[in-house]
Structure 1
Amino acid sequence: MQAVALQDEADAVILGCARPGEVPCEVARVGRAVAGQYGRLCGWVADLVVTAGSGPLPRRTGELLRYHLAMIDTALKLAFPKCRSERLERHRLALTGLGAPARELRDVEFALRERIVELESSR
């Protein structure tokens, strides 16, 4: 699953935004590219939910993808704010990565792979 493969890059962007001092512009460039890929995947999953029905697995996948996208977006906004403040800086420095939802997305990927194997073997 492409979303899981992007997690290392997403974590790197979030952690790059959380480093003390000035955040390199390269972090923003990579972050926007990763966010764009997650945005595209969110659209595909939303289409899948509409066409295949709103089962729990596709619906949860969409929620997790939106979380990943929101975390990258938040990290970038905190790292490159329009106005700096001590409160925003504390939040930026407290970022630690994608966290538990990243593990859950990997579990969802595993469940989807198992489902695909079941479907293929039932043919």
Structure 2
Amino acid sequence: MTGAKDPAATRLVALRSLLEVATRAVTLQTAAEQIIEACAQPGEVPAQVARQGGRVASDYCRLRGWALDLIGDADRASLEFRVTELLHYHADMIDTCLKLAFPKFRSSRLEQRRLALRGLGEPARTLRDAQAALALWISDLERTDGVVPPR
């Protein structure tokens, strides 16, 4: 044994790990949508929304960090890079909603923006599509490279 790594096997492990990251991010979407909805309600937003929202935003940031570690120098047009961008969007959206719900200074313009919040939008669906595309890509690689998926 030379100890040399098989690039195809290494790539497959990284893609499987990225799929796990994307799956966790998709699972978090329900909590993220609930936070956004709570931030958009008229009146005072309960402090627990800020605490929960901070945790969810932190989770998305952590997932993005892991994804960036996994993708290495992937092309900016690649699916892998797109996943990292979507994770950044999710974290940023939660952070923006919390800032609107708990501003340092209140204004009617900020209040209008807060009340107009409507969820994660199209990027949430795009992340779910990216998760499915990753799963399909991994399946294709396993078939063509003869790699047996772990059980």
Q: Tell me whether 1:85 sits opposite 2:107 in the alignment.
A: yes
Residue 35 of structure 1 is matched in structure 2 by 57
The match for 2:68 among 46, 54, 58 is 46
1: CA distance, partners of 2:130 / 2:96: 24
Which structure features the higher share of helix residues?
1
Q: Identity of counterpart residues, as a percentage?
A: 55
**TM-score normalised to structure 2 length:** 0.77
**TM-score normalised to structure 1 length:** 0.94
Give the greater-gyration-radius structure (CA).
Answer: 2
Give structure 2 stretches of 5+ with no counterpart.
Answer: 1-22, 147-151
Kindly report the root-mean-square deviation, in angstroms, between the aligned alpha carbons of the 2 structures.
1.1
AA aligned to 2:136 is E
Runs of 4+ in 1 over 3 A off after TM superposition: none
**Which structure is richer in relative contact order (CA contacts within 8 A, separation 6 or more)?**
1
AA aligned to 1:29 is R
1: CA distance, partners of 2:31 / 2:142: 32
Q: Secondary structure at the match of 1:6?
A: helix
AA aligned to 2:126 is E
1: CA distance, partners of 2:137 / 2:52: 33
